[in-house]
Amino acid sequence: MLKAQEMMALFNLAIEDYHEYDNVDQAIKNPFPLDSLQEMLYQKNWIDTVQWHLEDLIRDPNIKADEALAIKRRIDASNQDRTDMVEQIDDAILALYREVKPQSFARLNTESPAWAIDRLSILALKIYHMNIEAQREDIDAELLKKNQYKLSVLKIQEEDLCLAIDQLLEDLATGKRTAKVYRQMKMYNDPELNPVLYQNK
């Protein structure tokens, strides 16, 4: 099983690969074997990275209404892809511990491994972009100092989250904790569950 810092390295690779082109329409070139955990993690962060930049684009004060609507719908679709990817990663991780017998004192973890890893993926993006802001030369000293402080806080969060993920995975492997894949059952994209969609067929 990968350590959290190894996952972070995969996320950083995906972020760097994306920023080689910095284009939300750039096709992914995943370098890892299909259906491997590494492939899933790279794919997961690529989705997050594209969505990060879509969220930037939609906040352009001069954006045209039709462009904003198209991006909003793309963000909605991306959120569904992100959720599906998290569940796929959870299925792969928890399958590794299927034969582990929980200890008598084992507690059910409220957060599945992949949702914690999802937070790590987003954190990698925050650190990447805050690092840029912490090195800007076109802002005053006060804002620069504020950005550098925020970066230092994000780095602490990285250390803490990596430790927590590693502890969770170790506890799952030794039966000290259990976890389940909770399907998100998103309704807004489902034409059978969103009344706005099924009432307008």
Residue 192 pLDDT exceeds 90: no
79, 87 in Cβ contact below 8 A? no
Type of residue at 120: L
Q: How far is CA 30 from the centre of its chain?
A: 16
Residue 201 pLDDT exceeds 80: no
Residue 199 pLDDT exceeds 90: no
Rounded mean pLDDT, 8-31: 98
Q: Pick from 111, 56, 47: which is nearest to 79 by CA?
A: 47
List pLDDT tens digits, range 157-178. 999 999 999 999 999 999 999 9
Distance CA 168, CA 173 (A): 9
Distance CA 42, CA 48 (A): 10
List pLDDT tens digits, range 89-135. 999 999 999 999 999 999 999 999 999 999 999 999 999 999 999 99
Type of residue at 172: L
At which residue do the structure tokens 């569950």 appear?
Answer: 193
Residue 186 pLDDT exceeds 90: no
Residue 107, beta-bridge partner list: 177
**Where in the chain are the domains?**
4-194
pTM: 0.94
List pLDDT tens digits, range 39-63. 999 999 999 999 999 999 999 999 9
Distance CA 160, CA 55 (A): 27
Residue 14 pLDDT exceeds 90: yes
26, 46 in Cβ contact below 8 A? no
At which residue do the structure tokens 């930049």 appear?
Answer: 53
The token duo for 155 is: 């780095």
Q: Which helix (H) or strand (E) holds 159?
A: helix 141-174
Distance CA 141, CA 128 (A): 20
What pLDDT is stored for residue 87 in this prediction? 96
Distance CA 151, CA 145 (A): 10
